[in-house]
Amino acid sequence: MNCLDYRRALETEPQRVTPEMQAHTQSCADCTAWTGEMRVFEGRLRRALAIGVPPARDLPLLRVASPARRFALAASLLGGIALASLIWLSFPRDTLAAEVVAHVAQEPQSWLSHEALPPPAVDEVLQRSNSSAHFVPGSVTYARNCRFRGHLVPHLVVRDQQGMVTVLILAAEHVSGKVHFNEGGYRGVIVPAPRGSLAVLSRDDMRVEEIATRMLQALGS
C-alpha cells in the first residue's frame, strides 16, 4: 500500500483501519503524522455536526391515534351508538305508542272483567266520543271514555276464546301508516282509521294485527 492509497482509504472510512494500513503507518512517518492531523480534523468535524438542539415541541399524540387505536375508537363509537339505539328502542318513548301504553297500564282493572257488556252500553260509550262501531255481540268486556291527549276516546277491551286486546279509538290522532310497538310488556299496533287512528295492544295475545284489521272493519261498517 502506498501513501496515496492509505490516505484515500483513511479519508473515506476513518474508523476502518486494515492490517495493510497499520503496516503502512509503521513504515511511513509522513502518513503517521498525517493520520494524527486527520484524527483531530475528524474530531472537530464530529463536534461541528453536533449542533445544539432546540427544546422539543409538544407532540399532539393524543390526537394522533395509531391505526389500531383509531379502529378501536371507531368500533367503540359505533358500539356506543348501537347500545344507545338499543336502549332507546327498549324503553317507552314519548310518542303516541308510549302514551297509549302508559294509559292502558294505568287502567289494570280493564283486564279483570270477563263479563260481556250489553251492546247498548258499548254504543253509549262510542257515541259520547262521536264514534260508532259494530262489534260482535258479547265480545266487549270493558268500555269507557277516557281523557287522552285532551280528547275523550273510547277505551275498550275485546275478548274472545283466544285472548283479549285493548282498543283505543283515537279520532284526533293521525298516523301516516302502521306503527308497531313493543313497550312495557305490551305488543301492539296503531293503524290509520277512517277518522284518526286505532290502537290495538295486548300483553299476551299475539293477534293484534289481525284484530286491528277486524276493528277497522267494525269501525267502517
Partner 1 sequence: MMPCQRGSLYMNRASDGKERQRRFDELCTALRPDLFRFAFWLSRDRAVAEDVVQETLLRAWRAMDDLRDVQAARQWLLTIARREHARLYERKRLPTVDVDDLIAREELLLAAPDDTELQDLRRALLQLEDSYREPLMLQVLLGYSTEEIAKHMGLNVGAVLTRLFRARHQLRQILAGDGARPAETAQMRSV
The contact set with partner 1 (CB under 8 A) reads 8, 11-13, 42, 44-54, 56-57, 59-61, 64-69
In angstroms, the CA 182 to CA 196 distance is: 21
In angstroms, the CA 208 to CA 179 distance is: 12
CB closer to partner 1 out of 71 and 91: 71
Q: Containing H/E element for 219?
A: helix 208-220
User: Least distance in Å: CB of 168 to partner 1?
Assistant: 43
In angstroms, the CA 192 to CA 179 distance is: 9
- The answer to whether 160 and 78 are in contact (CB under 8 A) is no
CB closer to partner 1 out of 57 and 114: 57
Coil, strand or helix: which one is 116? Answer: coil
92, three cell numbers: 317507552
User: Least distance in Å: CB of 71 to partner 1?
Assistant: 12
CB closer to partner 1 out of 51 and 112: 51
User: Least distance in Å: CB of 22 to partner 1?
Assistant: 19
CB closer to partner 1 out of 52 and 150: 52
User: Least distance in Å: CB of 1 to partner 1?
Assistant: 16
CB closer to partner 1 out of 53 and 112: 53
Q: Of 170, 166, 173, 177, whose CA–CA distance to 204 is shortest?
A: 166
User: Least distance in Å: CB of 23 to partner 1?
Assistant: 21
Q: Of 217, 172, 173, 182, whose CA–CA distance to 202 is shortest?
A: 182
- CA 40 vs. chain centroid, Å, equals 70
